[in-house]
Structure 1
Amino acid sequence: MNGSREVWFNNPINRIYECDKYVAVLTDAERLSEGKLVEFIYRASLHPIDNFFQMVRRRLSLLERPMHSESNNGRVWTGKSAYNPAMVDKMLQILRVYYNFCLVGKDKKTPAERLGLARGPVEIRKILHP
């Protein structure tokens, strides 16, 4: 926004999870038609990223939010936390591969398929035990 070189566009269509949104096109916007530019601005969303972060919190118990309990006088219990931060990195890499190559979306395709990196969903056992 202020001080950046990108051209920022206001998206006037507010959604409950993204209101007062501004979008910058990082590719060469001058080569796009006005209709294509409007389509990019309309479709730009952080919703898929928020969904992945929610999946990380839910599926990796190491990263789940700490628990509060009445009997602990407001103290937070972090019993599932990792003692070695390298384990968090390993778990995130495994989840990232699972998300991109194994987990299918509403269109029955994985993110890797949509980008042309895979021909179909990959079974997790074929990745973990080749």
Structure 2
Amino acid sequence: MGWPLNLGARFPFSRKSEPNKVVKVPTWRPGRDAMSAARLIRRATLRSVGSYFHKFRSNVRFASRPSISSGNVGRTWDKQYLYKPEVMAKMVQIYRFYHNWCDPGDDKKTPAMRIGLARGRVYERDFM
């Protein structure tokens, strides 16, 4: 490879979701072959985390990014934003539970089903 990967290696193929990707491998094993190192660098991504937060911001109106209007004199607060951060923390917990246990993805499985924590999804009717 020619350089220590614990200092960081630029990913040579930029993507729209991660344009300036740098991968750092803090637990490098000296006996790792080049194909294994390349596979490790290729699979290092935060795309799913960014996708989750984008989905949260678009589904929960209170968490959307602020918009600046010309008539608002540069202020970014609007009537749909929350006054209390405690309410947002509760909404984040509710949404995280819904996303992990109730909301199936494209493959009809929830994240809890994909990692083996659940055999089936939890339905909203089970909460009533």
Instruction: Give the TM-score normalised by structure 2.
Output: 0.74
Distance across 1 between alignment mates of 2:104 and 2:31: 33
User: 2:98 maps to what in 1?
Assistant: 98
> How far 1:29 sits from its partner (Å)?
4.6
Unaligned runs of 5+ in 1: none
User: 1:11 maps to what in 2?
Assistant: 11
Coordinate RMSD, CA, aligned = 2.7
User: 2:52 maps to what in 1?
Assistant: 52
Judged with a 3 Å threshold, the aligned counterparts in structure 2 of structure 1 residues 107 and 25 are, in CA distance, closer, same or farther, namely farther
> How far 1:36 sits from its partner (Å)?
3.6
Instruction: Give the TM-score normalised by structure 1.
Output: 0.73
User: 2:83 maps to what in 1?
Assistant: 83
Unaligned runs of 5+ in 2: none
Structure number with the higher strand fraction is: 1
Amino acid at match of 1:85: P
Judged with a 3 Å threshold, the aligned counterparts in structure 2 of structure 1 residues 123 and 29 are, in CA distance, closer, same or farther, namely farther
Judged with a 3 Å threshold, the aligned counterparts in structure 2 of structure 1 residues 72 and 24 are, in CA distance, closer, same or farther, namely closer
Distance across 1 between alignment mates of 2:27 and 2:118: 25
Distance across 2 between alignment mates of 1:34 and 1:24: 16
Which stretch shows the higher mean deviation, 100-109 or 68-77? 68-77
Which stretch shows the higher mean deviation, 90-99 or 15-24? 15-24
Distance across 2 between alignment mates of 1:29 and 1:74: 51
Distance across 2 between alignment mates of 1:53 and 1:10: 24
Amino acid at match of 2:17: Y
Contact in 2 for aligned 1:57/1:64 (Cα 8 Å): yes
Distance across 2 between alignment mates of 1:71 and 1:108: 45
Which stretch shows the higher mean deviation, 23-32 or 94-103? 23-32
